[in-house]
């Protein structure tokens, strides 16, 4: 793939659905995810293998994976521990996304462990899983709702513990949309300069309206992998004030208009976003799904 194009990982099935209070039947989850894949998305974070008490909405993780028409897409599942990693592998996930927060407070609230204990858990997982099948998502990279904004040194120090593991990707997650474009530029520039072998991705939330601007800031510094959720749903249930991921349809539309290829068929994706809105039964934050693409002409 030419260097200027981007790979978008859809996280609707995981970050999106985990925040939904009303039970979404497994068939409806699969319908949405299969619709997303049919529009050309090649990486799908479909669900989480976490405690069903922590996230009841995703207790059907195994059944969801079984119903995905994966075609040639890579299927990813989030895991918080070794046990989840084993479940994910049994269920047929291609990759696992291990989550660990830069914030000690958020990590304890999210996975009930200290950051060091989570790092220990990651080491245990790398003994069982090839590192190139492991993505590390660093929650609250830019700041934490309990601890405030961070400087890049704090993140650098945590990555120092994993830099030699040969992980498939490290995703810098702005869990509650606190980052601004200047901060994203600074973090990505410094981390990619210091760790040129490491593939970094951005996982952005639009909580304060800075999501697309942050994506562009990251793109300009060389980031080519982004997470996003259909219709802009999502958020971490263990972070106060959390709200939607950056919208997959809006991100794809923006890049495509800029001539940056995503491999996604916009009309097909918008159709699935509108269908998901019907299933969820409330107005979704996505904007292109309301207005149509900038190339859609109206009758005079």
Task: Determine whether 236 is an active site residue.
Answer: yes
CB 146 within 8 A of CB 103: yes
**Counting contacts by CB under 6 A, is residue 80 touching ligand COA?**
yes
**Counting contacts by CB under 6 A, is residue 133 touching ligand COA?**
no
Q: How far apart are CA 259 and CA 41, in angstroms?
A: 17
**Counting contacts by CB under 6 A, is residue 77 touching ligand COA?**
no
Q: How far apart are CA 246 and CA 218, in angstroms?
A: 13
Binding range to ligand COA, per CB under 6 A, among 106-114, 160-168, 260-268, 273-281? 106-114
Binding-site partner at residue 18 among Zn ion, ligand COA, none, CB < 5 to 8 Å by type:
ligand COA
**Counting contacts by CB under 6 A, is residue 50 touching ligand COA?**
yes
Exactly one of 210, 217, 236, 239 is catalytic; which is it? 236
Number of residues that bind Zn ion (CB under 5 A): 1
Which run of H or of E encompasses 169?
Answer: strand 169-173
Residue 132 contacts by C-beta under 8 Å, 6 or more apart in sequence?
166, 167, 168
Binding range to ligand COA, per CB under 6 A, among 35-43, 48-56, 124-132, 248-256? 48-56
Binding-site partner at residue 184 among ligand COA, Zn ion, none, CB < 5 to 8 Å by type:
none
CA distances from 121 to 20, 65, 117, 138, 187 (A): 28, 24, 6, 14, 26
Query: Which residue lies nearest ligand COA, judged by its C-beta?
Result: 84
The 15-54 site mask, x for binding Zn ion (CB under 5 A), equals x---------------------------------------
CB 176 within 8 A of CB 205: yes
Number of residues that bind ligand COA (CB under 6 A): 21
CB 117 within 8 A of CB 213: no
CB 32 within 8 A of CB 279: yes
In the list 9, 103, 110, 272, the residue contacting ligand COA (rule: CB under 6 A) is 110
Binding-site partner at residue 87 among ligand COA, Zn ion, none, CB < 5 to 8 Å by type:
ligand COA
Which run of H or of E encompasses 228?
Answer: strand 225-228
Question: Which residues form the catalytic set?
Answer: 236
Interface contacts to Zn ion, rule CB under 5 A: 15
């Amino acid at each position: 793939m030419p260097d200027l194009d981007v790979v978008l990982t859809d996280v609707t099935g995981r970050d999106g659905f985990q925040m939904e209070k009303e039970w979404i039947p497994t068939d409806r989850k699969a319908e949405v995810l299969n619709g997303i894949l049919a529009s050309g998305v090649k990486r799908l974070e479909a669900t989480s293998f976490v405690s069903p008490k922590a996230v009841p909405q995703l207790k059907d993780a195994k059944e969801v994976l079984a119903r995905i028409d994966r075609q040639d897409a890579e299927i990813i599942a989030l895991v918080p521990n070794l046990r989840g990693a084993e479940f994910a592998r049994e269920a047929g996930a291609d990759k696992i996304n291990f989550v660990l927060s830069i914030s000690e407070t958020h990590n304890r609230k999210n996975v009930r462990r200290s950051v060091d204990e989570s790092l220990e858990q990651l080491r245990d997982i790398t003994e069982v899983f090839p590192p190139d099948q492991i993505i590390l998502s660093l929650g609250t990279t830019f700041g934490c709702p309990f601890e405030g904004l961070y400087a890049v040194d704090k993140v650098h120090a945590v990555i120092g513990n994993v830099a030699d593991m040969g992980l498939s990707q490290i995703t810098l997650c702005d869990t509650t949309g606190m980052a601004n474009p200047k901060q994203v530029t600074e973090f990505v520039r410094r981390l990619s300069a210091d760790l040129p072998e490491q593939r970094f991705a951005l996982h952005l939330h639009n909580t304060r309206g800075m999501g697309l601007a942050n994506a562009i800031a990251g793109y300009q510094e060389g980031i080519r992998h982004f997470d996003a959720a259909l219709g802009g749903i999502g958020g971490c249930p263990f972070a106060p004030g959390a709200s939607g991921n950056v919208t997959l349809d809006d991100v794809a539309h923006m890049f495509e208009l800029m001539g940056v290829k995503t491999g996604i068929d916009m009309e097909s994706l918008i159709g699935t976003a509108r269908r998901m809105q019907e299933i969820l039964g409330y107005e979704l934050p996505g904007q292109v799904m309301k207005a149509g693409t900038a190339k859609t002409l109206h009758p005079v």
